Amino acid sequence: MSRKTALIILDGVGYETAVTQCGYLQACHEAGRAKRWKMRSCIPTISLVMYETIHTGLAPVEHGILSNNALGPSQKPNIFSALRSAGKSAAVVGHAYFHTLYGGSAFDPFRHCEIDDPEAPIAHARYYSMEGYGKRNACAPAEIDLCAQATMLLRKHNPDYLLLHTSSADTIGHTFGGASPEYRRQVAVIDDALSRTVPQWLEAGYDVFVAADHGMNPDGAHGGDEPSMRDTAFYYFGEAEGPAAETVLDQRAIAPTILSRIGVDIPGSMTQLPIVS
């Protein structure tokens, strides 16, 4: 079994917001074209920490990155290292943190915002820094631009693993709060862009997963153990079978799920069973 596989990470989008605001994803679920489960994030529910959990299949206390201020290269077997060992390819459109974690060096925007190098740890990437982000300027790329970049990489390079990571809901959630109209609206904007993107990827033969790193509470915060921070939605477009719809999934299962779809050996450190098979 070997499927090209895409993972879309919706930064800071909690379960309730996803299922109430993502009309496209929910329409696919309702029509039986996508499976959907609730997924519980590990803690602390912090972005960088969760990126590493999503890609290593390890809880934060096991992988050791426990803060956004602990930015550095991943020290554990992860999706990208497993793909490289198996001779498989990857492409990323996402926050610059992903370059520092898995790209082989600290992020330098003048050298790394675009990468097309077959010898690089991630051969094809488009990163954004969000430098200057604050209440006056979200510094977040437009959703459709991110989707278009990822689709261009898919068309040109047909990577075995395609990662698309969007930060804008997290940014707007921090600014206005997770119960605000601005946050809900931004999640709908992301969903709208996905409605024009995911069908192209499915047409190209990809399995597509949509996940979140963590949610957002009404204060505009995350990091702790509240349901609004930990509960996220996990969607799957593909033919494989998964657990019953009411099953609450473990975020550590994402990495072995991705690798098993691509047909790559799962590192022994990833102990969760794949979600679909």
Task: Convert residues 153-192 into a mask of x (bound to Zn ion by CB under 5 A) and - (unbound).
Answer: -----------------x----------------------
Applying CB under 5 A, does 143 fall inside the site for Zn ion? no
- Concatenating the DSSP letter of every residue in 225-247 gives S-HHHHEEEEEEESSS--S-TTP
CB of 158 to Zn ion, least distance (A): 32
CB of 47 to Zn ion, least distance (A): 5
Give residue number: closest CB to Zn ion.
Answer: 170
Question: Which CB sits closer to Zn ion, 170 or 226?
Answer: 170
CB of 14 to Zn ion, least distance (A): 11
- Concatenating the DSSP letter of every residue in 11-25 gives TT--HHHHHHH-HHH
Question: Which CB sits closer to Zn ion, 117 or 219?
Answer: 219
Q: What's the number of CA atoms in the CB half-sphere (13 Å) around residue 2?
A: 10
Furthest-apart CA atoms within the chain: distance in Å: 48
Question: Which CB sits closer to Zn ion, 10 or 91?
Answer: 10
How many CB atoms lie under 10 A from the CB of residue 224? 14
CB of 269 to Zn ion, least distance (A): 26
- Nearest CA to 81 out of 62, 102, 59 is that of 102
- Nearest CA to 143 out of 114, 172, 123, 115 is that of 172
Region of residue 205 (left: phi > 0; alpha: psi -120 to 50; beta: else): left
Question: Which CB sits closer to Zn ion, 160 or 170?
Answer: 170
Count, residues near Zn ion per rule CB under 5 A: 1
Question: Which CB sits closer to Zn ion, 81 or 175?
Answer: 175
CB of 170 to Zn ion, least distance (A): 4
Secondary structure (3-state) at 6: strand
State the residues that interact with Zn ion by CB under 5 A: 170
